[in-house]
């Protein structure tokens, strides 16, 4: 499984890479001004739960369940962090795209 | 077996299983549980999470539109449904064998610590969200515990850090045996609730919660202020005997109400009640009182409401008189200020309000306030045995000015055609040391003297009794106090003016033999204290009380007096030993 870095200046389609039919991953740059704090984490977990896939996130040496707002919040993912999102399950490509967009999106505070 | 000592605030003895009631205002103590309780605790946790979530769903639907607030609640809801929460808290319950409350608090403490360790202040601030969620879950857990109490088949001893008013809703005498708490004093919620339910209580025990488990056997000694955890069988037996004695004592008190407050050698003591509102008369009469010795009329004032009119006063006094059926009603004029209700909150603050313009002094400054009350007292005197009592009199000058105003009121009422009793007795409170010293001068111009021990002790010993740092110096049986009281009683005997005593000292059975021995024949106490004081009176002779008083008069300290009085009381009422 290879990973790609998602940059604001690179279209999502090009950055995305899927290794197998039921798993996909993407590395994103967290561009939310306060990082993945409670509310963006809630949003992220909600999307992760809705995908019905298994979602793992890694940030440096920290790792957690993307569907758990508590695990995400405890990872204390700050703005500008590099976040690896790994999704396993049906329609994982669409899921990883949605999740990547969620972290790259500007959250109102 | 472990013995803890605290402050006894409600008498009686109880033996029973303890029930720990955590409070949301503080960190939850680590409460150990048995291995077989794990499943039950995990179930409680699950139920609490569900009800906390339902609460949030209700809040969300109440906000209606999507906004900042609904976004916050929505986040909280997400946290509550996070499987990590229930898994981790469940694991703590199982691994550490602790209560669900403790495991929840432990989980959120840890979470908050992690949030606060992140440098971004935005993260650190999210800690308050976590605390909010924690509170909601704990509330749900404790709420279900309160319901549990009501479901218990055997009553329990309630243990808490401090009982909150909101926690008392479901507590009643059917499910509780006694109360114990870590903090608090005689005026704490725990104390007030226990007394109103007639249950033994010990407060101010310090950190006892951590040494208790649900179901631990405890003995609560509300007479001595002791709590014995895991007592040995000998202690249990000893206390069972004490409890039986106390139960008999309760029954005796219930019977004594219909008998006069008369000593064994036939001396009658007039035992009256203190009231704050007219409706209190019923409890005084129910308790077997001989009238009202002190009507604290400042309670006619209600904060934020217009001051009572003359008619309001008349209505209150006449209503009390009707219930008294011929027994006397002693109306003390407004005793405002210092620690009490004050009629004008805007008045400039005084550096030393207890020595300032309070009570009668304030009334004399403000005829507009005082006159309607004096007129009302006079008008009410046509309906029954009213006595008018002036507080905070320091000497003749105060008394004469007050009496002049009373006379003015009498004259104006008469010209208006009102019937006004000519014989209404007028008295003064002896609560300033100077008044006690010149009691002989005052006695010439009054019909009765009423010794107010609360203020007399405070002013004589220069001790603010609500100041915890000096509260131990507040000593009603200080030799100086006994001399002052004796002197006033002697003035009464010499002049033929009746002398009564009100204040907490009068209601404490410890002092009854001393007060009777010093020659007092009229006491005014709270309705609650009437049966116990009456019972002691009925068990003593005047001769015996004189001996006790004579002994106390030679004592050199408050402690010596108390030791002697405790001995006497123990002999008279073994249940209180």
pLDDT tens for B532-569 read 999 999 999 999 999 999 999 999 999 999 999 999 99
Best to test chain A binding among B126, B131, B137 (most A CBs inside 10 Å): B126
CATH code for the domain of B227: 1.10.274.10
Q: Which of B71, B115, B122 sits opposite A34 (nearest CB)?
A: B122
Q: Say which CATH number the domain at A15 has.
A: 3.30.1340.10
Looking at the structure, tell me whether residues B302 and B206 fall in a common domain.
no
Quick one: pLDDT at residue B504? 83
**pLDDT score, position A26:** 86
Contacts of A68 in chain B (CB under 8 A): 82-84
- CB of A65 less than 8 A from some CB of B: yes
User: pLDDT of B148-158, one tens digit each?
Assistant: 665 666 788 99
Residue B247 pLDDT > 50, yes or no?
yes
Is B247 part of a structural domain of the chain? no
Mean pLDDT of chain B: 87
How large is the C-alpha radius of gyration of chain B?
A: 29
**Distance separating alpha carbons of residues A75 and A78, to the nearest angstrom:** 9
Per the structure, the count of domains in chain A is 1
Residue A109 resides in a domain: no
Give domain status of residue B251, yes or no. Answer: no
A69 touches chain B (CB under 8 A): yes
pLDDT at B466 over 90: no
Dihedrals phi, psi of B201, to nearest 5 degrees: -150, 140
The answer to whether A60 faces chain B, any CB pair under 8 Å, is: no
Same domain, B297 and B210: no
Q: Which of A49, A67, A73, A79 to mutate to test the interface with B (most CBs of B within 10 A)?
A: A73
- Does B120 sit within 8 Å of A34, measured CB to CB? yes
CA nearest to A65 within chain B: B84
Which residue, of B207, B242, B277, is where some domain finishes?
Answer: B242
Residue B75 contacts A where some CB pair is shorter than 8 Å? yes
Asked if residue A41 is part of any domain, the answer here is yes
Q: How many CA atoms lie within 13 A of A39 on its CB side?
A: 16
Considering the domain architecture, whether residues B235 and B335 belong to the same structural domain is answered as: no
Mean pLDDT of B210-228: 88
Catalytic residue from among B76, B106, B161, B189 = B189
Residue A54 contacts B where some CB pair is shorter than 8 Å: no
Of A37, A45, A68, Cβ closest to residue B126: A37
* Domain assignment present for A53: yes
Q: Is residue A108 part of a domain?
A: no
B221 lies in the same domain as B283: no
**How many other CB atoms are there within 10 angstroms of residue B520's CB atom?**
26
| pLDDT over 70, % of chain B | 88
A-chain residue closest to B113, CA distance: A74
Residues B178, B273: one domain?
A: no
pLDDT at residue B229, rounded to an integer: 94
Q: CA separation (Å) from B170 to B41, B175, B201, B531, B555?
A: 21, 9, 18, 29, 48
pLDDT, position B146: 58
Contacts of A69 in chain B (CB under 8 A): 75, 78-79, 82
Contacts of B85 in chain A (CB under 8 A): 70
Name which of B75, B84, B114 is nearest A76 (Cβ-Cβ): B114
pLDDT for position A105 = 52
B285 touches B271 (CB < 8 A): no
Report the residue of chain A nearest B118, measured CA to CA.
A76
Long-range contacts, A45-49 (Cβ 8 Å, 24+): A45/A69, A45/A72, A45/B78, A45/B82, A46/B78, A47/A95, A47/A98, A47/A99, A47/A102, A48/A95, A48/A99
| Of B111 and B312, the one with more pLDDT | B312
Q: How confident is the model at residue A2 (pLDDT cuts 50, 70, 90)?
A: very low
Chain B residues in contact with A37 by the CB 8 A cut-off are 120, 122-123, 126
Where residue B343 falls among pLDDT bands split at 50, 70, 90? low
The reply to whether B224 and B320 lie within a common domain is no
Note the pLDDT of residue B554.
96
Confidence of residue B464 (pLDDT cuts 50, 70, 90): confident
Is position B250 within any domain?
A: no
Say if CB B352 and CB B386 are below 8 A apart: no
The pLDDT of residue A106: 38
How far apart, in whole angstroms, are the C-alpha atoms of residue B329 and residue B324?
A: 8
A26 touches chain B (CB under 8 A): no
Same domain, B230 and B296: no
- Does some domain include residue B249? no
pLDDT in tens, B45-104: 999 999 888 888 887 777 666 666 677 788 888 999 998 999 999 999 999 998 898 899
Would you say residue B315 lies in a domain?
yes
3-state secondary structure (DSSP) of residue B526: strand
B75 min Cα distance to partner chain A (Å): 6
ipTM greater than 0.95, yes or no? no
Does residue B228 sit in the same domain as residue B274? Answer: no
Q: Report the side by side order of strands in the sheet with B176-181.
A: B2-5, B226-229, B217-221, B13-21, B156-160, B176-181, B201-203, B7-10
Give yes or no for B82 touching A (CB within 8 A): yes
Of B85, B118, B123, the CB nearest to A70: B85
The tokens for B281 are 């008369």
Record the tokens describing residue B111, joined without a space.
Answer: 């979470």
Q: Of the residues B212, B242, B272, which one is the last residue of a structural domain? A: B242
Which domain does A41 fall in, by range?
Answer: 5-103
Residues of B in contact with A42 (CB under 8 A): 74-75, 78-79
| Residues spanned by the domain of B478 | 257-576
Number of domains forming the structure of chain B: 2
Residue predicted with more confidence, A87 or B422: A87
Same domain, B187 and B268: no
B118 and B227 share one domain: yes
- In angstroms, how far is CA B219 from the centroid of its own chain? 23
Inside any domain, residue B26: yes
Place of tokens 């004490």: B242
Burial degree of A102 (CB within 10 A; 0-12, 13-18, 19+): buried
Mean pLDDT (whole number) for B146-169? 69
Which of B78, B118, B129 lies closest to A45 in CB terms? B78
Residue A95 lies in a domain: yes
Looking at the structure, tell me whether residues B307 and B442 fall in a common domain: yes
DSSP class of residue B574 equals G
User: Is B189 a catalytic site residue?
Assistant: yes
**A70 vs B75: CB contact, 8 Å cut-off?**
no
Residue A16's Cβ-count burial label (10 Å; 0-12, 13-18, 19+) is middle
Are B232 and B285 contained in the same domain? no
**CB-CB under 8 Å, B84 with A70:** yes
The CATH number of the domain where B385 resides is what? 3.20.20.60
- Pick from A5-19, B134-148, B331-345: least confident: A5-19
Arithmetic mean of pLDDT over chain A:
77
């Amino acid at each position: 499984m290879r990973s790609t870095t998602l940059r604001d200046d690179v279209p999502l389609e090009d950055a995305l890479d899927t290794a197998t039919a039921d798993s996909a991953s993407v590395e994103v740059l967290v561009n939310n001004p306060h990082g993945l704090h409670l509310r963006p984490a809630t949003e992220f977990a909600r999307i992760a739960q809705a995908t019905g896939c298994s979602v793992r996130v890694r940030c440096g040496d920290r790792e957690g369940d993307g569907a758990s707002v508590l695990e995400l919040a405890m990872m204390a993912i700050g703005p500008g962090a590099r976040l690896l999102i790994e999704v396993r399950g049906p329609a994982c490509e669409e899921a990883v795209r949605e999740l990547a967009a969620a972290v790259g999106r500007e959250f109102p505070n | 077996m472990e013995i803890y000592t605290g402050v006894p605030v409600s008498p009686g003895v109880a033996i029973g299983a303890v029930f720990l009631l955590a409070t949301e205002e503080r960190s939850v103590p680590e409460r150990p549980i048995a291995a077989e309780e794990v499943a039950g605790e995990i179930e409680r946790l699950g139920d609490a999470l569900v009800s906390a979530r339902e609460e949030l769903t209700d809040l969300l639907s109440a906000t209606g539109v999507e906004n900042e607030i609904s976004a916050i609640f929505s986040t909280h809801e997400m946290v509550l449904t996070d499987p990590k929460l229930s898994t981790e808290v469940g694991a703590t319950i199982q691994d550490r064998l602790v209560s669900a409350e403790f495991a929840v608090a432990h989980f959120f403490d840890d979470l908050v610590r992690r949030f606060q360790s992140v440098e971004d202040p935005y993260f650190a601030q999210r800690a308050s969200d976590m605390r909010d969620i924690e509170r909601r879950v704990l509330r749900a857990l404790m709420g279900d515990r309160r319901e549990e109490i009501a479901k218990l088949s055997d009553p329990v001893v309630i243990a808490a850090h401090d009982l909150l008013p909101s926690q008392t809703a479901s507590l009643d005498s059917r499910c509780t045996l006694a109360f114990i708490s870590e903090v608090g004093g005689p005026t704490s919620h725990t104390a007030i609730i226990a007394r109103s339910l007639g249950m033994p209580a010990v407060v101010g025990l310090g950190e006892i919660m951590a040494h208790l488990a649900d179901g631990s056997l405890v003995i609560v000694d509300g007479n001595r202020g002791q709590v014995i955890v895991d007592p040995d069988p000998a202690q249990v037996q000893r206390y069972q005997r004490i409890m039986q004695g106390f139960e008999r004592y309760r029954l005796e008190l219930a019977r004594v109400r219909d008998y006069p407050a008369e000593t064994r050698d036939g001396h009658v003591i007039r035992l009256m009640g203190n009231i704050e509102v007219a409706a209190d008369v019923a409890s005084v009469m129910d308790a077997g009182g001989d009238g009202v010795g002190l009507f604290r009329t400042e309670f006619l004032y209600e904060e934020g409401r217009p001051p009572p009119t003359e008619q309001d006063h008349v209505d209150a006094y006449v209503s009390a008189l009707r219930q008294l059926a011929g027994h006397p009603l002693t109306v003390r004029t407004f005793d405002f200020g210092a620690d009490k209700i004050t009629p004008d909150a805007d008045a400039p603050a005084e550096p030393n309000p207890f020595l300032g313009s309070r009570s009668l002094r304030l009334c004399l400054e403000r005829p507009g306030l005082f006159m309607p009350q004096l007129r009302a007292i006079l008008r009410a005197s046509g309906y029954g045995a009213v006595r008018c009592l002036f507080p905070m009199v320091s000497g003749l000058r105060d008394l004469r000015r007050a009496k002049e105003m009373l006379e003015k009121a009498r004259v104006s009422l008469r010209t208006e055609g009102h019937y006004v009793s000519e014989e209404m007795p007028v008295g003064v409170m002896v609560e300033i040391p100077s008044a006690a010293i010149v009691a002989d001068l005052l006695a010439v111009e009054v019909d009765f003297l009423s010794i107010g021990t609360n203020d007399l002790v405070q002013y004589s010993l220069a001790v603010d009794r609500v100041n915890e740092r000096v509260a131990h110096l507040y000593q009603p049986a200080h030799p100086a106090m006994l001399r002052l009281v004796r002197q006033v009683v002697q003035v009464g005997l010499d002049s033929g003016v009746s002398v009564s005593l009100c204040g907490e000292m009068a209601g404490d059975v410890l002092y009854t033999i001393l007060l009777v021995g010093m020659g007092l024949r009229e006491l005014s106490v709270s309705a609650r204290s009437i049966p116990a004081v009456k019972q002691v009176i009925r068990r003593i002779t005047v001769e015996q009380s004189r001996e006790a008083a004579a002994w106390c008069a030679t004592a050199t300290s408050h402690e010596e007096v108390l030791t002697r009085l405790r001995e006497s009381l123990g002999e008279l009422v073994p249940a209180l030993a």
